[in-house]
Structure formats: C-alpha cells, structure tokens
Amino acid sequence: MQEAEIKIGGISVRDLAEQYGTPLYVYDAERIRDNFRRLSSALRGHYPEVSVYYAIKACNNLEIAKLLVEQGAGIDAASPNEIRLAQALGLSGERILYTGNSLSDDDLAAGLRAGVIFNVDDHGVLKRLFALGRPRCMSFRINPSSEDIATPDLTPFAGPSAKFGIHPRFVEEAYRTALENGVERLGVHMMPHSQASKPESFAHVTGKLLDLIGPVARKLGFQLEFLDIGGGLGIPYRRELPPLDVDAVAREVAAVVRRKCAEHGLKTPRLVMEPGRYFVGDAGYVLGRVISIKQGYRTILGTDISMNTMARPVMYGAYHEVRINGRGGQTAPMAMTGQVCENTDMWISEREFPAEVAEGDVVVLMDAGAYGHVMSYDYNGRLRPAEVLVDGGQSRLIRRRDTFEDLVSRMCLSEDIQKRLREAAGEASGQAAGG
C-alpha cells in the first residue's frame, strides 16, 4: 500500500534526501518558533515577569539558536565555548546564563569576562571564583530531593543519585559566601529533570525549592531577584502519549511561587526557564536510507543512521519513532541497525516495520532535534552528518557534511603521512576534474 510522502515544512523527505544526501539532520524553523511562542505565552499568561533562555546544548547550530534569539530567548551556556556561541548571536551580559559543571579557573574567568549570570552548582567553587572576580548577578543550582520526577528514559538530575547541584545542607553557606563577597543580585536555580512528562512535577519541585531557599533568604536578609526552574519540559516521543500541557505547567508553577513566596515573606521573583528539548526536539528529523535488508536470525534493516549519527537510542535506551517514507500496510517484526561495527549499533532490536520496505527507501527518525547532532561523532570513520533548515517552503544547508579531510585535519601528522594525504587529495581532485 502506497502511503503519502512524509514532508518537513512542506518539502518531501525524498527530495531532501536526494538533494543533500543521507544521513541528514533536517529542522523545521516554524515548528521551533511555535514551540517557543507556546511556552513563552503560557508563562507570560500566568506570571508577570518572565525570562526564557534556550539551553544551546540541545542543538548548537547557530542558525537554529538564532531562530529562538529572534523570538526573544537568551542563551543558557554550559561552557566557555557555548558563551562564545551566544555572543556570536549578538547576546551579551545577562542575556547569557552560565550553568557549568566542575568549572576550571579558565572556565570561571571566561564567564567573569563575559559578564554573564553565573549559576553555580558547587559551593566549593566559590573560593576560586571570588579569587578571580565577582559576578554582578548570580544564582546557585540547588539539588532538591526528587523522589517522583524520574522519567522513563533518563535518571533524574536531582536527588542523591545526581551529580548536579548544591546539597540542601550547604545552601545557606553558599548564599552567605556570595553576600560576604559583595554579590548584590541573587537568584536561585534548579534543573531537577529532563524529559519530564507530568505537569505537576514542575510545581511540586518548585515548591520544594522555595521551601529550601525561603528560610535561608529570610535568615540572611536577601531577596531573590529570579527563580530559575531549569528546562526539562518533555516531548511525546511516543505518539500515543499526549503532549505536555505547558499551560498547566505555567499555571501551577505560578500558583506555587505566589503561595510559597507569601509563606516565606519573599517578594515574588522573576521566573526563568531554560529549556532545550522543548524548543527543538520535535522540530528535528534524521533522514537516512535503507541500504540492506538482511535475512538471518531476524530481519535486519541496515541503514546509514548509526549509533554515532543519533546516540540517544543506544545511550539511554531512548525511544524514537521511525517511519519508512511512502510505505504502509502490512507490517513484520524487524531490527534496525546502522553501519558501525558494534552490536549496540542495532539501535532497534525489534519493531514492526512495513513488510514492503525496500532498499533505497528513505527512513525518517522523528523528534531528533534535541541532543541529536550535538551528540554525534565520527566513530568508524562514519562522519558527522549535514544539517538543513526548512523555512517558508525553502530548504538550505546550515552545516555541511564532515569530510575525510575534516577527519584528518586535526591530527598532527608526520611529513610522510602528510605527503601521502596530499598526493591522494591531488589524485582525487584529478579524477574529479577528469570526470
């Protein structure tokens, strides 16, 4: 049975695969803008003062981040290089939030130079930070315990099993040290979960955070300038699940912030969120091709989407919907693999696929926009894919495919190898010129 062509922003995946080759990341610009507007208007609808940052780690192509910055997003950076990405987008100072882990002196100095909002995840780092300088505005990433916010794919980012955030026991010490060092503008932060699917998780853990910070702020006599509840908004990787109700998230969070701030005698702070996945996750796709259909102990669809093209399934056992373009009807159980010499590269061990699937068919891995290309790597000499943006019915390349030259370009090579590489490149270009 012939199914309709899959389209991204109005362009068929077959045309995209033909024009740009596979494997290929494709993003739908309008979907990214919609995702931002939906969240931003939900938050603003329920709370007076809101800032939204984009966690650029989710997808760091500047053309993608630019779409969000144009909508009003700041950038949440995890490293000095991500600060530089944000600066390349025209952002500076407090439009950049800096949430790093195990920051070295160089990392700290880079943040101080850029004048970003420091979000410190370890009170132990403060001595080194204040020896180097003083941020004008900072927050602490607190680790509130989190019994009920685990998600199916990922372990929670808070609670005893997490490496992140400041233990409740050290919260007072952290803020006292900041105040003693003359920091005047303070906020509080948490990032307790990613891919959270229940709206109530957000209000629940926000309440816990305010119960922790409220008494500390009162005792030390400071007001919170902002409350950053992190990212973590989940998307329905499984089509049968409903999308997260972000209006409910905003409504419930706003209510708990008002209630808890009143209880603890705090002024209501500015509300900050810094999602990554929610903005770009469902706007991205990986296009590949069925290269082989191998019969044996099971039927294995060999594709050019490998564990290093999209790491999430193998890394987290994460589920992604996979569609075979133009195929429907009867299905049969099959495995799906990439081209890498690892058995884990069988990233789907069994799933129903259309029985009529054929070599050359275009495979579409859905919801690949977040933690997709950024987590790809070039194992087995299978190089990182190109990225294409579809906007207003047009497609354009926003990152070229890596080449063999890229693979060797960062190796520091002895003269004999360099000579051979030059010769091989000369032969290859000669062959190309000769047709």
Please state the closest distance from residue 220 (CB atom) to ligand LLP, in A.
Answer: 24
345 contributes a contact to ligand LLP by CB under 6 A: no
278 contributes a contact to ligand LLP by CB under 6 A: yes
β-strand partners of 335: 300
Considering only residues 74, 159, 214, 275, which one is a binding residue for ligand LLP as defined by CB under 6 A? Answer: 275
Please state the closest distance from residue 330 (CB atom) to ligand LLP, in A.
Answer: 33
The tokens describing 122, both together, are 């370890």
82 contributes a contact to ligand LLP by CB under 6 A: no
274 contributes a contact to ligand LLP by CB under 6 A: yes
Query: Does 59 participate in catalysis according to the annotation?
Result: no
- Distance CA(434)–CA(411), nearest Å, equals 30
272 contributes a contact to ligand LLP by CB under 6 A: no
Cis peptide before 23 (omega within 30 of 0): yes
- Distance CA(212)–CA(169), nearest Å, equals 10
Q: What is the contact mask toward ligand LLP in residues 374 to 413, using x (rule: CB under 6 A)? A: ----------------------------------------
Considering only residues 23, 159, 276, 288, which one is a binding residue for ligand LLP as defined by CB under 6 A? Answer: 276
197 contributes a contact to ligand LLP by CB under 6 A: no
194 contributes a contact to ligand LLP by CB under 6 A: yes
User: Which residue in the shown chain puts its C-beta closest to ligand LLP?
Assistant: 231
- Distance CA(100)–CA(121), nearest Å, equals 7
232 contributes a contact to ligand LLP by CB under 6 A: yes
Query: Count residues contacting ligand LLP (CB under 6 A)?
Result: 21
Is 232 or 269 the residue whose CB approaches ligand LLP more closely?
232
347 contributes a contact to ligand LLP by CB under 6 A: no
231 contributes a contact to ligand LLP by CB under 6 A: yes
Please state the closest distance from residue 310 (CB atom) to ligand LLP, in A.
Answer: 10
- Distance CA(6)–CA(310), nearest Å, equals 20
Considering only residues 31, 95, 289, 312, which one is a binding residue for ligand LLP as defined by CB under 6 A? Answer: 312
- Distance CA(430)–CA(425), nearest Å, equals 8
How many CA within 13 A on the CB side of residue 329? 9
302 contributes a contact to ligand LLP by CB under 6 A: no
Single out the catalytic residue among 137, 261, 341, 412. Answer: 341
Considering only 187-195, 246-254, 351-359, 414-422, which stretch makes contact with ligand LLP by CB under 6 A? 187-195
237 contributes a contact to ligand LLP by CB under 6 A: no
Q: What is the contact mask toward ligand LLP in residues 30 to 69, using x (rule: CB under 6 A)? A: -------------------------x-xx-----------
Number of Cβ within a 10 Å radius of residue 239: 8
Q: Which of residues 131-150 bind ligand LLP (CB under 6 A)?
A: none
CB 253 within 8 A of CB 55: no
What are the residues whose beta carbons fall under 8 Å from the beta carbon of 80, sequence distance 6 or more? 106, 107, 110, 111
The string over 252-275, giving b where at least 16 C-beta atoms fall within 10 Å of a residue's C-beta and e elsewhere, is bbbebbeebbeebebebbebbbbb
**CA torsion sign, 248 to 253 to 256 to 258?**
negative
Alpha carbon of 86 to those of 80, 82, 104, 199, 388: distances in Å? 10, 6, 20, 30, 21
What are the residues whose beta carbons fall under 8 Å from the beta carbon of 127, sequence distance 6 or more? none
Please state the closest distance from residue 51 (CB atom) to ligand LLP, in A.
Answer: 13
The tokens describing 19, both together, are 């024009």
Crossing angle of helices 80-88 and 105-114, rounded to 10°: 20
154 contributes a contact to ligand LLP by CB under 6 A: yes
199 contributes a contact to ligand LLP by CB under 6 A: no
Please state the closest distance from residue 195 (CB atom) to ligand LLP, in A.
Answer: 6
CB 57 within 8 A of CB 274: no
Considering only 41-49, 224-232, 239-247, 394-402, which stretch makes contact with ligand LLP by CB under 6 A? 224-232
373 contributes a contact to ligand LLP by CB under 6 A: no
Please state the closest distance from residue 84 (CB atom) to ligand LLP, in A.
Answer: 18
106-111 long-range contacts (CB < 8 A, ≥24 apart) are 106/80, 107/79, 107/80, 108/132, 109/133, 110/80, 110/83, 111/80, 111/83, 111/135
Q: Which residue ranges make up the site for ligand LLP (CB under 6 A)?
A: 55, 57-58, 76, 99, 154, 191, 194-195, 230-233, 274-278, 312, 370-371
The catalytic residues are 341
